[in-house]
Each structure stands twice: as structure tokens, then as C-alpha cells.
């Protein structure tokens, strides 16, 4: 046993003890964070504008702090970017995490000296939770790879600025840095395909034990290794025993990824974002991810059916219910206030509070009033794949077809790139459609009422999604294709690329 694995075990037990302590006091801990955040920010510009000194309860907080998005905070962030202090949080941010928005263009999300530990310690604790539960720690003594964006940072108003994964790269603990792959020079390469080839050059003969990244980009890494060697990943990396992922639902990728590996290995799901590290899978035995309630974030939740109401009801952690979908609102120790993440989650447990990420508020199809969400789409596909075990899906997206060139009733169009297609394509489509009608009563009524017809599936050529991402400058890193859209922008471009 190496020094890293040896030291990880007592540290893991210490972290678990701390975790169990705040889990037992979850509601109290969240209330304390609300008061602590408000108190510390009361002399900031935002705190003065929203009368933080008069906030003494959660009702006061909801009255004073509106639900916001990036556009609502953009004016404050613009002042930080010009060099002003004490705007959203005391002092200036330590970093800006640069991320793309659908309506706001590039977003600059503040990360403070207070909040950086949320990002770094949470990733560490996810691994230590795994060590504590399984007793497996030997992987820490071998090579670890984190497929991420470039760590090169620029300056914006005197604040270091870069992608979240690149910022996190600067905070990898020193005891892991000697094991970390790829090299810093390779990680700085901007072009994803060039970078990936170089990563393979550096890792091919190394004892890789842990691989982390967004599933489609890890799959691309695996595919290129297999093309080069003709071997399964287990034969290239016999020490590979732990896969860490986040960013997308793993289920559509699971079969193909494990087929590429050639064996089943343990995995840990994470829920990180530029706005905070919110949850991680703390158990290999329990469903969902542990919501991190003691890391500088005060959470609020809005039932998604009421999110677009003029004055939607906001709930604190003690008011949520298992099985309902909520929009997530965060207030954090970097100066985000009433900030809507755009994500939807569902609680699978309230003791402790464990969640599943179910989709995006803006990623839905309701061209005909059906309001189909990402969770339903993924569930229907998983249902069909279980009944057609030969099927491997590389990537997919869904869009409405309102006016088909062939005429007839409108329908949902599924654009799917298969690693291995179904033997019975018509039955596969019917299984997806049957499951969707079970999951969504509005979709069922539209089908039965002959307003919609059964979905159609368009199989796309190999690498169609990669070519789409490349064409839009989003190949690699933390980028991902939306599961579904309420318009045809992505679908039409994919079909054009598919024909090229």
C-alpha cells in the first residue's frame, strides 16, 4: 500500500464523521448559512440595495431577495469587472468562471476566497466517501486523469478568469499532482482533437487507475485508444478501477462506455457547476447524490410547475418532498443571490437529502402543449434500451417536427447516433413511444387525440454530433448537446451535417 492510499483512509473516516454530523442537522445548518451569508454581505452594494440589515427570517429573505438569473445580476458583475470592490460579496472575487449562456452570451460567474473550498473540497470528499464505504484506496497510488478544459487564465478587471475545470486544475492537492495526467503543457492545448491525441500519447503506457470527465468526451478518448491499439480499455489500462463523471445523465452512455472498457467498474457521479459544487454520489449502494448543505450555499426550491408563475412559492430544504421536480435556486458565499441555475432536480430521499438531476428548465418540448422534459426523454430511451440490449447509443437529441415535407400529423423527431443500432428498429421506436405515453399524460392525450403521431427516429452517421460540436466551437471540455429543444435549430443543423 502506497503513502497516498494509506493516508486517505483515516482522512476518509474523519470526513465521513463531519458529514454525518451536518446531515443530522440539515435544516438547522441551512438556516444558519442563510443568516451567515446575509450578515457577511450586508455592507456590499447588493446587500444595501436589498436591505440585508432588515433580514431576520426566511420570510424576510424571500421578501428582500428576488429570484434572479444572470441578466438580473449582470449590472453588478459589470461593476466588478471594472475593478470595484464589495459589490456582490465583500472584496473582489478570487476568480471569474467563464461560461456560455443561451441568452446572455459569455457569463462571468464569481468564485470567492470563501467559495473556492466548496469546489475543491467537495471533489476530494466525493473520492473519500467512496474510500470510506468500499475500503478501496489503491487507485490513489497510480495515475489519475481529469479530462478538462485548459488551465490557462486571463484577467478581467484584475480578476483571474477561465473555465471552471481549468481553475480547479490549479487547486489539485499537491499529494495528487505527481499522479495527475495529462501534463500541464498538454492540458493547455485549446484544440480538443489535438489535445486528445497528445493525452493518448502521454497516458497509453501509464498505470491509469482513475479516469474522470463528461461521458461523451471520455467515450471519444476510449474510441481513439481502441483505434490506435485494437484493444479494450481494460487491456490497455488493467489498473483502471474508478470512473468519475458529471454534466450529463450517464445512463444513455453506460452500455457503450462499459463495452469499450470491457468490464464493469465502480463509478461516482458529481454535480459541479460554475455556480457551485452542489452534490456528489456518496454511496455505491444508495440512489442519488448527497446534496451538500454545509459548504457555503443556501438553497431554495421552486416546484417546476410553478416556476413561471408571477410570484412562485420558494421552499427551503425542510419543505421539499420526495418525487417532485424542483427548480434549484442558490445563494452562495461568492455573491450569487436568488440565482436560478436553470436545472431541475428531484429528491429521492430526505434523510439524508439525496437528489437526481432531471433536466433543464429551458430544455423541454411543448410545441403542442405536451411539456415533455429531459427526465422523461431519458427514461423512455433507457426503457427501450433495456428491451433491446444490443443497442448502444453514442449521443442523441429530440426536437418537434411541426410541418413535415411529407405532410401528415406533427411528431417528435429523435436524432440518434448509434454505437450499435437496434435489430428491430420499429419495435425500438414503439417501445420509446409507449414509455413516453406512460410518463407524460399530455403527450398521451395528444397521441390518442390524433394531434401528434408516433415519434420518428433519424439515425445519424458516425461522429455527426462531434462534427456538430466542432462546427460550433464546442468540441471537448465541459460542453454538451442539449437532450431536447423546443425548436429545430440544433436538429436542422445536425441533419445538414449528417448529409455532408
The per-residue pLDDT for 103 is 47
What does the alpha-carbon distance between residue 326 and residue 319 come to, in Å, rounded to a whole number?
A: 12
Nearest to 180 by CA among 156, 158, 147: 147
User: Could you tell me which residues come within 8 angstroms of residue 311 by beta carbon, excluding any fewer than 6 positions away?
Assistant: none
- Model pLDDT, residue 104: 52
Task: Give mean pLDDT, residues 54-66.
Answer: 97
Query: For residue range 285-325, what is the model confidence (pLDDT) as tens digits?
Result: 999 999 999 999 999 999 988 888 888 999 999 999 999 99
Examine the pLDDT at 101 and tell me if it is beyond 90. no
- pLDDT of amino acid 169: 87
Q: How confident is the model at residue 256 (pLDDT cuts 50, 70, 90)?
A: confident
What values do phi and psi take at 69, rounded to 5?
-130, -170
Residues 327, 302 contacting (CB under 8 angstroms): yes
Grid coordinates of 292: 451538500
Q: Per-residue DSSP letters for 73-136?
A: HHHHHHHHHTT-SSSSSSS--SEEEEEE-SSSSEEEEEE-TTTHHHHHHHHHHHHHHHHHHH--
Sorting pLDDT into bands at 50, 70 and 90, what band is 1? low
Lowest mean pLDDT among 150-159, 171-180, 258-267, 333-342: 171-180
Q: In what order do the strands lie in the sheet with 106-111?
A: 106-111, 95-100, 159-162, 154-156
Residue 450 pLDDT > 90: no
Q: What is the pLDDT of residue 176?
A: 74
Q: How far apart are CA 262 and CA 78, in angstroms?
A: 50
Residue 255: the pLDDT is 84
Examine the pLDDT at 202 and tell me if it is beyond 50: yes
CA distance 201 to 218: 15
> Which helix (H) or strand (E) segment is 192 a member of?
helix 192-203
Quick: pLDDT tens for 230-254: 999 999 999 999 999 987 778 778 8
Q: What is the mean pLDDT of the chain?
A: 91
Residue 477 pLDDT: 60
The percentage of the chain sitting over the pLDDT mark of 90, rounded to a whole number, equals: 71
What angle in degrees, to the nearest 10, is found between the helix axes of 3-23 and 116-134? 110
Q: Is pLDDT at 12 greater than 60 in this prediction?
A: yes
pLDDT of residue 478: 64
Is the pLDDT at 76 greater than 60? The verdict is yes
Neighbours of 75 (CB within 10 A): 10
pLDDT bin (cut points 50, 70, 90) of residue 224 is very high
Amino acid at each position: 500500500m502506497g503513502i497516498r492510499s494509506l493516508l486517505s483512509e483515516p482522512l476518509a473516516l474523519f470526513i465521513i464523521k463531519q458529514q454525518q454530523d451536518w446531515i443530522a442537522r440539515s435544516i438547522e445548518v441551512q438556516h444558519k448559512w442563510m443568516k451567515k451569508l446575509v450578515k457577511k454581505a450586508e455592507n456590499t452594494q447588493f446587500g444595501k440595495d436589498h436591505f440585508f440589515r432588515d433580514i431576520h427570517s426566511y420570510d424576510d429573505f424571500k421578501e428582500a431577495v428576488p429570484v434572479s438569473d444572470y441578466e438580473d445580476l449582470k449590472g453588478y458583475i459589470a461593476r466588478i469587472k471594472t475593478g470595484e470592490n464589495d459589490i456582490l460579496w465583500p472584496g473582489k472575487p478570487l476568480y471569474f468562471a467563464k461560461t456560455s449562456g443561451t441568452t446572455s452570451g459569455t457569463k462571468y460567474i464569481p468564485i470567492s476566497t470563501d467559495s473556492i473550498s466548496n469546489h475543491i473540497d467537495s471533489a476530494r470528499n466525493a473520492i473519500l466517501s467512496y474510500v470510506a464505504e468500499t475500503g478501496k484506496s489503491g487507485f490513489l497510488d497510480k495515475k489519475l486523469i481529469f479530462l478538462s478544459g485548459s488551465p490557462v487564465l486571463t484577467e478581467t478587471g484584475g480578476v483571474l478568469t477561465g473555465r471552471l475545470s481549468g481553475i480547479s486544475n490549479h487547486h489539485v492537492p499537491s499529494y495528487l499532482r505527481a499522479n495527475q495526467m495529462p501534463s500541464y503543457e498538454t492540458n493547455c492545448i485549446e484544440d480538443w482533437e489535438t489535445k486528445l491525441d497528445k493525452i493518448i500519447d502521454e497516458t497509453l503506457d501509464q498505470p491509469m487507475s482513475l479516469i474522470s470527465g463528461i461521458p461523451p468526451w471520455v467515450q471519444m478518448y476510449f474510441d481513439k485508444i481502441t483505434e490506435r491499439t485494437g484493444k479494450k480499455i481494460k487491456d490497455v489500462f488493467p489498473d483502471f478501477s474508478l470512473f468519475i463523471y458529471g454534466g450529463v445523465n450517464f445512463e444513455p452512455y453506460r452500455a457503450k462506455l462499459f463495452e469499450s472498457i470491457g468490464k464493469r467498474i465502480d463509478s461516482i457521479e458529481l454535480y459541479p457547476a460554475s455556480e457551485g459544487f452542489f452534490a456528489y454520489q456518496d454511496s455505491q449502494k444508495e440512489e442519488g447524490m448527497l446534496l451538500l448543505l454545509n459548504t457555503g450555499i443556501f438553497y431554495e426550491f421552486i416546484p417546476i410547475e410553478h416556476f413561471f408563475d408571477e410570484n412562485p412559492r420558494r421552499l427551503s430544504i425542510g419543505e421539499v418532498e420526495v418525487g417532485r421536480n424542483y427548480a434549484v435556486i442558490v445563494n452562495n458565499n461568492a455573491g450569487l443571490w436568488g440565482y436560478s441555475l436553470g436545472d431541475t432536480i428531484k429528491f429521492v430521499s430526505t434523510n439524508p437529502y439525496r437528489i437526481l438531476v432531471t433536466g433543464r428548465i429551458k430544455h423541454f418540448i411543448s410545441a403542442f402543449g405536451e411539456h415533455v422534459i429531459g427526465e422523461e426523454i431519458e427514461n423512455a430511451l433507457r426503457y427501450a434500451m433495456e428491451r433491446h440490449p444490443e443497442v448502444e447509443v453514442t449521443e442523441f437529441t429530440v426536437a418537434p417536427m411541426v410541418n413535415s415535407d411529407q405532410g401528415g400529423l406533427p411528431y417528435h423527431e429523435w436524432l440518434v447516433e448509434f454505437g450499435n443500432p437496434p435489430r428491430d428498429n420499429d419495435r425500438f421506436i414503439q417501445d420509446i413511444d409507449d414509455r413516453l405515453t406512460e410518463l407524460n399524460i399530455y403527450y398521451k392525450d395528444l397521441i390518442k387525440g390524433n394531434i401528434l403521431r408516433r415519434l420518428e427516429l433519424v439515425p445519424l452517421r458516425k461522429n455527426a454530433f462531434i462534427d456538430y460540436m466542432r462546427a460550433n466551437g464546442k468540441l471537448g471540455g465541459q460542453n454538451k448537446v442539449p437532450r431536447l429543444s423546443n425548436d429545430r435549430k440544433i436538429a436542422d443543423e445536425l441533419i445538414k451535417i449528417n448529409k455532408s
